[in-house]
A and B are shown apart, each in its own frame.
Chain A
Amino acid sequence: MPKLLEVKDLRKYFPIRQGILRRTIGHVKAVDGLSFDVERGETLGLVGESGCGKTTASRCLLRLITPTSGNFTFGDEQINLAKLTNKQMRPFRRRIQMIFQDPQSSLNPRMTVANIVGEPLRVNRTVQKNELQDRIVELLESVGLKSQDMRRYPHAFSGGQRQRIGIARALALNPELIVADEPVSALDVSVQAQILNLLAELREKFQLSYIFIAHDLSVVRHISDRVAVMYLGKIVEISDSETLYQSPKHPYTEALISAVPLPDPKEQRKRELIRLEGDVPDPSQPPTGCYFHPRCRYATDICKEETPELREITTGVKVACHLSETLELQGV
């Protein structure tokens, strides 16, 4: 059976323009050759630091923006969505939905909850008029809201409840894939757990697949079957989450894991911390060779010159590092 989503060498370059003539003087390589796939019913976590291209990649997949190059095929039909026109895209739009970080700004403040959740149903005319109400109630209940909430406006809800409204809207058209961009980052810890549980429950109930984007590595580990780590527009490591966290194979993954303070004081005191020097480089002027080499404590001469390819080193574990076979890296 084909994968639900197969992405091959996806790129998105944003031009940097200057002067009165708006001449292009360079490019921000926001997404620079991503390849990965998502199976049915699977959750793929996408982690990486600010500006590494997570949001840009997801906007490409939803075709909110057109990728500069690369392909991605979706569904049993294996249609390449990267090249479709807006009109050709239409039947696919309902099958891939998005949940945003900030429910506040993604919900129209002047619309009632019923209108927000019902809008995609009305636009796509998927249900009869007399069934609309029932469907909205059903959706609200599946995300833990009540039917009385229908007539209220977004401002009357807490952050967690607003996120539930956003999830109900995303579910309205029975999507196959949901791209969730930092869906719990703006929420309080106690509410975050509720939303994570809800997402896991809905995944079972509706056989959903998720691409789950977050910068919090603990959250990603909890929800994901597999995890991809991004750095400067590229995937540096991808494998099942247990393996990735227990025995990372890329020095950047190792450093990321080490940087997360564990909520366990004794454990934390014992840990040997790897401190990364410097900042993430500017994506319009990435370093030569391995993009990570200026901050990498294992870098050798070859790292400065040759860009490592993402290659499978053991079954299901792909790494882009020249030295991954020889390095002994530390996990959690």
Chain B
Amino acid sequence: MLLISKAFCYKIYTYLHKINTIGSDNELTQNLLEVSNLKTVFPTDGGIVHAVNDVSFSIQRGKTVGIVGESGCGKSVTGLSLLQLVPTPGRIAAGAIMFYREETDEPLDIAQASPRSELMRKIRGNEIAIIFQEPMTSLNPVYTVGDQIAEAIVLHQEGKRSLLDRIVMQKTPKWARERAIEMLSRVGIPAPEQRVDEYPHQLSGGMRQRVMIAMALCCAPTLLIADEPTTALDVTIQAQVLTLMQDLQTEFGMAIMLITHDLGIIADMADEVVVMYAGRVVETGTVDDIFYNPLHPYTRGLLNSIPNLKGSQDITLPSISGTVPHPLALPIGCSFQPRCAEQMSVCEQMPELNIIDDTQNMQTENGCHAVRCWLCEEKTDAEIA
């Protein structure tokens, strides 16, 4: 057991190291965040839910990592863990979240930081911002959107509150309000001078999501975590919001961790992809690895089971049989095993996340392709030896 985990640690180390060293002379391809062996658990009446189980991946500066998987596979909890925002009674039980901050050379391990510490408060919003699916739940209905954006600006730049502002105790200093208007117009809200004084319910869903993005970006974070940012929106509005995120990424150079269950959005936005199933990473690689050389049966099944806007219109879609297992009744070994068409006897043991050196990967300058499946195990063991 010990041996296995040692070998595994080595693999993860090389995996992360590989990403970090490739193109390290280029600022843009450096890692901003390295998650390794992260475990986040929820103690419940029925037992411990391993919502995030041994998850490793990394996010490069200025790049987009897409996290994809079905409902309950642990995407949101992974995102919340990165900000130490896991709701009680959940907690990070193991693993590291190395965050390479701008001003310091030494990375900070967020997994070790206390959720309520001053440090975490500084990181949230200032350096890592998060936006959620339903903006209405994160916007306060009794304040105008302008006040809320201004509040975010002031909160994170307390030092800049002038003496005059403090004496008069204005709720919203004039400069912050001006900055809020500027942000609103930056995210493409028409007539921002007028919208700034409106309340959230007066805006459409797409506009609310733009306000959320404006709030998230007002402090120029280095990482934006977007948890299903467009799931509640119509496709034409979704296209507007996704384009906006792309434009702002180019402008501000922030990295994006994009959580979604929509493979179309992944194909459109992501540089790297992490596919999750039942709390674990089953496959990770560049967007081209995942779409053109998927190796895990689950990834393949997912890609095959989406009806296509183009291509053939066959009567039967290839579908994955069965359903996602209950988090308290996970199958032994590979979690996908009962639904897998390729299932073998060895699948009753948990496969490791193995790096694959495939041609697809050689051509792209960064990232590496890793798969958690016994079908891919042998090949790599031989290669390592």
A197-B316 Cα distance, complex, nearest whole Å: 5
A190 and B319 contact, Cβ closer than 8 Å, known pairs A260-B264, A279-B204: yes
Q: Does A50 count as interface, using CB distance less than 8 angstroms?
A: yes
Q: Are A218 and B308 in contact (CB under 8 A)?
A: yes
Q: Are A49 and B291 in contact (CB under 8 A)?
A: no
A261 and B236 contact, Cβ closer than 8 Å, known pairs A161-B323, A218-B309, A221-B309: no
Tell me the dominant secondary structure on chain B's binding face: helix
A263 and B234 contact, Cβ closer than 8 Å, known pairs A188-B70, A192-B305: no
Q: Does B338 count as interface, using CB distance less than 8 angstroms?
A: no
Q: Are A276 and B239 in contact (CB under 8 A)?
A: yes
Q: Which partner residue on chain B sits nearest A217 by CB separation?
A: B309
Q: What band does the interface of chain A fall in when counting residues whose beta carbon is under 8 Å from B?
A: 35 or more
Q: Which of B285-302 contact A (CB under 8 A)?
A: 287-288, 291-292, 301-302
Nearest CB of chain B from residue A278's CB, rounded to whole Å: 8
Q: Which partner residue on chain A sits nearest B263 by CB separation?
A: A263
Residues of B contacting A16 in the complex (Cβ-Cβ under 8 angstroms): none
A195-B233 Cα distance, complex, nearest whole Å: 23
A256-B317 Cα distance, complex, nearest whole Å: 23
Residues of A contacting B320 in the complex (Cβ-Cβ under 8 angstroms): 190, 193-194
What are 16 A-to-B residue pairs whose CB atoms are below 8 Å?
A50-B205, A190-B302, A193-B307, A193-B317, A200-B316, A215-B234, A221-B313, A222-B308, A222-B313, A261-B267, A263-B291, A263-B303, A264-B267, A268-B264, A275-B240, A279-B204
Q: Does A262 count as interface, using CB distance less than 8 angstroms?
A: yes
Most buried by B among A191, A263, A266, A280: A263
Q: Give B339-353 as 1s and 0s: 1 = Cβ < 8 Å from A's Cβ atoms.
A: 000000000000000
Q: Are B236 and A49 in contact (CB under 8 A)?
A: yes
Most buried by B among A217, A257, A264, A273: A264
Most buried by B among A192, A222, A267, A280: A222
Q: Which of B193-249 contact A (CB under 8 A)?
A: 204-207, 234-240, 242-243
A50-B232 Cα distance, complex, nearest whole Å: 10
Known: A190-B323, A193-B307. 11 other contacts (CB 8 A): A49-B236, A158-B323, A200-B316, A215-B234, A219-B307, A222-B307, A245-B309, A258-B239, A263-B267, A265-B288, A273-B239
Residues of B contacting A217 in the complex (Cβ-Cβ under 8 angstroms): 235, 309
Q: Are A257 and B319 in contact (CB under 8 A)?
A: no
A75-B148 Cα distance, complex, nearest whole Å: 57
Q: Which of B235, B292, B308, B323 is in CB contact (< 8 Å) with A49?
A: B235
Q: Are A259 and B306 in contact (CB under 8 A)?
A: no
Q: Does B71 count as interface, using CB distance less than 8 angstroms?
A: yes
Q: Does A160 count as interface, using CB distance less than 8 angstroms?
A: yes
Nearest CB of chain A from residue B352's CB, rounded to whole Å: 24
A323-B190 Cα distance, complex, nearest whole Å: 28
Question: By the criterion of a CB under 8 Å from any partner CB, how many residues of chain B are at the interface?
Answer: 48
Q: Are B207 and A279 in contact (CB under 8 A)?
A: yes
Instruction: Give the 4 A-B CB pairs with smallest separation, nearest first.
Output: A193-B319, A222-B307, A261-B264, A193-B305
What is A's interface to B at a CB cutoff of 8 Å? 49-50, 158-161, 188-194, 196-197, 200, 215, 217-219, 221-223, 241-242, 245, 255-268, 273, 275-280, 332
Q: Are A262 and B310 in contact (CB under 8 A)?
A: yes
Q: Are B323 and A189 in contact (CB under 8 A)?
A: no
Nearest CB of chain A from residue B77's CB, rounded to whole Å: 17
Q: Does B262 count as interface, using CB distance less than 8 angstroms?
A: yes
Q: Does B261 count as interface, using CB distance less than 8 angstroms?
A: yes
Residues of A contacting B206 in the complex (Cβ-Cβ under 8 angstroms): 279
Q: Are A257 and B239 in contact (CB under 8 A)?
A: no
Q: Give B34-47 as 1s and 0s: 1 = Cβ < 8 Å from A's Cβ atoms.
A: 00000000000000
Q: Are A268 and B324 in contact (CB under 8 A)?
A: no
A197 and B234 contact, Cβ closer than 8 Å, known pairs A218-B308, A219-B307, A262-B309: no
Q: Does B268 count as interface, using CB distance less than 8 angstroms?
A: yes
Residues of B contacting A161 in the complex (Cβ-Cβ under 8 angstroms): 323
Residues of B contacting A192 in the complex (Cβ-Cβ under 8 angstroms): 305
Q: Which partner residue on chain A sits nearest B326 by CB separation?
A: A158
Nearest CB of chain B from residue A209's CB, rounded to whole Å: 16
Q: Does B23 count as interface, using CB distance less than 8 angstroms?
A: no
Residues of B contacting A262 in the complex (Cβ-Cβ under 8 angstroms): 264, 267-268, 308-310
Nearest CB of chain B from residue A12's CB, rounded to whole Å: 21
A222-B306 Cα distance, complex, nearest whole Å: 10
A190 and B70 contact, Cβ closer than 8 Å, known pairs A197-B316, A215-B234, A264-B267: yes
Q: Give B3-41 as 1s and 0s: 1 = Cβ < 8 Å from A's Cβ atoms.
A: 000000000000000000000000000000000000000
Q: Which partner residue on chain B sits nearest A223 by CB separation?
A: B307
Q: Give B51-77 as 1s and 0s: 1 = Cβ < 8 Å from A's Cβ atoms.
A: 000000000000000000011000000
Nearest CB of chain B from residue A275's CB, rounded to whole Å: 6
A256 and B236 contact, Cβ closer than 8 Å, known pairs A218-B308, A263-B267: yes
Q: Are A265 and B267 in contact (CB under 8 A)?
A: yes
